[in-house]
Amino acid sequence: MKVNEVRAKYFEYFKARGHVEIPSASLVPQNDPTTLFTGSGMQPLLPYLLGEVHPKGNRLVDSQKSFRAEDIEEVGDNRHTTFFEMLGNWSLGDYFKHEQLQWFFEFLTDEVGVDPSRLYVTAFMGDEKNNLPKDTEAVDIWKGLFAGKGIEAHAIEIGSEADGYAKGMQGGRIFYYEAKKNWWSRAGVPEKMPAGEPGGPDSEVFYDFGLPHDESFGANCHPNCDCGRFMELGNSVFMQYLKNEDGTFGLLPKQNVDFGGGIERITAASNNDPDVFHIDAFMDVIDLLVHFSGKPYDDSAWKKSYRIVADHMRASVFMLADGVRPSNTDRGYVLRRLLRRAAQHAQKLGVENDQKEESMLNRCAVIIIEKYKEAYPELATEEMYEAITSEIWKEEKQFGHALVTGMKEFEKLTSNVGLTKSHILGEDAFMLFTTYGFPFEMTQEIAAERGLSVDADGFKALMIKHQDLSRAGSEQKFKGGLADHSEATTRLHTAHHVLLKALQTVLGDHVKQRGSNITSERLRIDFSHTAKMTPEQIAAVECIVNEVIRKELPVVRSTLPKDEAEKLGAEHEFGAKYPDMVSIYSIGPIGATESDPHYDQAYSLEFCGGPHVSNTRELAFSDSSSTALGPKFKILKEEAVAAGIRRIKAVIQ
């Protein structure tokens, strides 16, 4: 089967059972500072699993775009990918274990055609310390489902993964594991959950490819073994319990089901092929690369490079479509790393090109766009197509320059290395990578040609430290672009809204926000505009912002359905995906209130999670009782940051 077929069958199957299809959220999380990317199907729907009412009802189905940066280095084996789609069905206080397990089993065996004799499942073995019972209910359901296919299913207790390696399969088909493997909560295992936190057992389904066990992973094989024999297809989470103030657990009054299944892995299982890169989502790209390189995919010398290019280009296309652009920080850094690794491995295959129209990476991108445009029609617009291919080509050219510069530095570094030592220090390899963008793998290969080794452990240690620092710094950056929620930052956040509307008034409606960063000292906005602003235009924008402040307009927050907010013309950030219910802020007119916001007369209307002042007069003075208004909104700098993108830094003096 193909990925589009599996996705379509999944939607059809669950719609027939009363589910409403909802769109995938963006890879860029909204109002979630804990992560750079959406990394699971559950992430965008967590508020509804925790009690909020979803506007589309209590039975939902989706396919969520997801990305996990931690898997970049793992790509190259037969199953790890960075970008993936997570099929999901959700019960918000409606059906529970019996329906969920039956439906997923039927979908796999009857709709997708997976051989039931190849399926193995896991369940929660209980937690005596926290008085949480063994999930015999799920196990009994599984026994009945397998019996319906003529398969006798025995349940055995594995407990920990170490027990699995000791006990092996023991003739079982259903396996009880401890909380570390088969319990879900945001905090992890039961003892780590705070009071008031919901959680519950889960049940995973694995496919057995029948490969021989690799004893380097343990003496015996079992479903959670990483040797390659088993592949997890999906996980049904049963949000069933609530932790009480006294540390005990009670049943939730409203129990939910959260299911997530990897579409790529389900497709691979339907084809009984352990190499996930043999599915059409990757193989169409790999076939293109094979055609131009003349090197067979099944040759172990080239297989890793084919897989890296195919995976990284698919992830890059979806990142670019969701508004991420290559840079040296945060999400942009991850995207740059993907594109440059893809370019590096395309060079290894001998298929790099020197023109945008002939760029092999862009040819890969076009195949990916064509593959996914039906499910994600935003990929197929002329504007999006041009944005994706232009950014890829620009990064390819910059990477080419980086390689030239990095090679010069490498030559300097190694010219005398043999006189004192036979290897390159980790700190030197790290410098080549971070300062010149010179890939670590290339440092290793060039060094090996000269009989030198590279301190890989030292390099990895520095990379981990670098990533930890970046992650810590990003926690503040991704709170809607705000450094904090202080009074000064909040004032400038509201001024940011006023400024965007003023820019549209002076420069034209083509102006759209392309990024922002706001601290207590200044605001920064990136916006679409092709020309440098004239002094007269800057003065006009300043005048409009200051006039809005003087008018003392109310700032009103409303929550309403996304499609209704879009019909009202509310501004939102390019490439961003929003939930079905959104928060919008309107500025003005005088007399507007939360119950009567007068949207049609508002000066500014934007999607935003806040926080904001309650009246524009507070932009001039934090003391709302002051009457001596003398605001001085001032643009400090206007400059270009990319083709067609300008940047303004401004303050309120």
Contacts of 98 (CB under 8 A, 6+ apart): 141
Mean pLDDT of all residues in 358-374: 94
**Amino acid, res. 90:** W
Share above pLDDT 90 across residues of the chain, in percent, rounded to a whole number = 54
Instruction: State pLDDT tens for residues 451-481.
Output: 888 999 998 888 877 766 555 544 444 444 5
Strands (E), 4-106: 20-21, 59-67, 83-92
For the record, the structure tokens of 250 come out as 């009670």
Residue 559 CA to residue 551 CA, distance in Å, equals: 25
Asked if 404 contacts 397 with a C-beta cutoff of 8 angstroms, the reply is: no
**3-state class (DSSP) for residue 5:** helix
Residue 483 CA to residue 518 CA, distance in Å, equals: 6
Bridge partner list, 261: 87, 234
pLDDT at residue 358 tops 60: yes
CA-based nearest residue to 99, from 270, 261, 236, 263: 236
Asked if 613 contacts 475 with a C-beta cutoff of 8 angstroms, the reply is: no
Asked if 343 contacts 352 with a C-beta cutoff of 8 angstroms, the reply is: yes
Contacts of 589 (CB under 8 A, 6+ apart): 553, 598, 601, 602, 603
pLDDT at residue 605 tops 80: yes
For the record, the structure tokens of 4 come out as 């589009």
107 DSSP assignment: I
Q: What is the pLDDT of residue 130?
A: 94
Residue 121 dihedral angles phi and psi, to the nearest 5°: -130, 160
Tell the burial category of 176 from Cβ atoms under 10 Å away from its Cβ (0-12, 13-18, 19+): buried
pTM value surpassing 0.85: no
Query: Long-range contacts made by residues 348-351, C-beta under 8 angstroms, separation at least 24?
Result: 348/302, 348/305, 349/289, 349/293, 349/295, 349/302, 349/305, 349/306, 349/309, 350/293, 350/294, 350/295, 351/289, 351/292, 351/293
> How many separate helices (H) and strands (E) can be counted in the chain?
19, 19
Instruction: State pLDDT tens for residues 167-221.
Output: 989 999 999 999 999 999 888 899 999 888 889 999 999 999 999 999 988 889 9
The residue to which tokens 């992560």 are assigned: 35
The segment(s) of the chain belonging to CATH 3.30.930.10 are 3-277
**155-159 and 174-177: which strand pairing?**
parallel
Give one DSSP letter per residue of 383-414, joined into a string: HHHHHHHHHHHHHHHHHHHHHHHHHHHHHHHH
Residue 209 dihedral angles phi and psi, to the nearest 5°: -80, -5
Q: Of 3.30.750.24, 3.30.980.10, 3.40.630.10, 3.40.50.300, which CATH number belongs to 487-652?
A: 3.30.980.10
pLDDT at residue 626 tops 50: no
Asked if 182 contacts 126 with a C-beta cutoff of 8 angstroms, the reply is: no
Mean pLDDT of all residues in 38-65: 89
pLDDT at residue 607 tops 70: yes
Task: Point out the least confidently predicted range of 4-18, 308-322, 622-636.
Answer: 622-636
Tell the burial category of 144 from Cβ atoms under 10 Å away from its Cβ (0-12, 13-18, 19+): middle
**3-state class (DSSP) for residue 156:** strand
Count Cβ atoms below 10 Å from residue 187 Cβ, excluding itself. Answer: 12
Residue 586 CA to residue 575 CA, distance in Å, equals: 21
Residues in the chain: 653
Instruction: State pLDDT tens for residues 18-30.
Output: 999 999 999 988 7
The residue with greater pLDDT, 479 or 442, is 442
Residue 571 CA to residue 563 CA, distance in Å, equals: 12
Residue 384 CA to residue 392 CA, distance in Å, equals: 12
The segment(s) of the chain belonging to CATH 3.30.980.10 are 487-652
Task: Point out the least confidently predicted range of 194-208, 237-251, 411-425, 546-560.
Answer: 411-425
Residue 388 CA to residue 369 CA, distance in Å, equals: 10
Q: What is the pLDDT of residue 473?
A: 47
Tell the burial category of 357 from Cβ atoms under 10 Å away from its Cβ (0-12, 13-18, 19+): exposed
Residue 112 CA to residue 9 CA, distance in Å, equals: 8
Report the 3 state secondary structure along 109-134: HHHCCCCHHHEEEEEECCEHHHCECC
Count Cβ atoms below 10 Å from residue 252 Cβ, excluding itself. Answer: 17
The residue with greater pLDDT, 498 or 621, is 498
Asked if 527 contacts 646 with a C-beta cutoff of 8 angstroms, the reply is: yes
| Class of domain 3-277 as given by CATH | alpha beta
Count Cβ atoms below 10 Å from residue 40 Cβ, excluding itself. Answer: 17
Residue 262 CA to residue 268 CA, distance in Å, equals: 10
Residue 1 CA to residue 613 CA, distance in Å, equals: 54
Confidence of residue 246 (pLDDT cuts 50, 70, 90): very high
CA distances from 179 to 140, 235, 236, 550 (A): 19, 14, 14, 59
Contacts of 240 (CB under 8 A, 6+ apart): 199, 200, 201, 251, 252, 255
Most confident of 187-201, 510-524, 587-601: 187-201
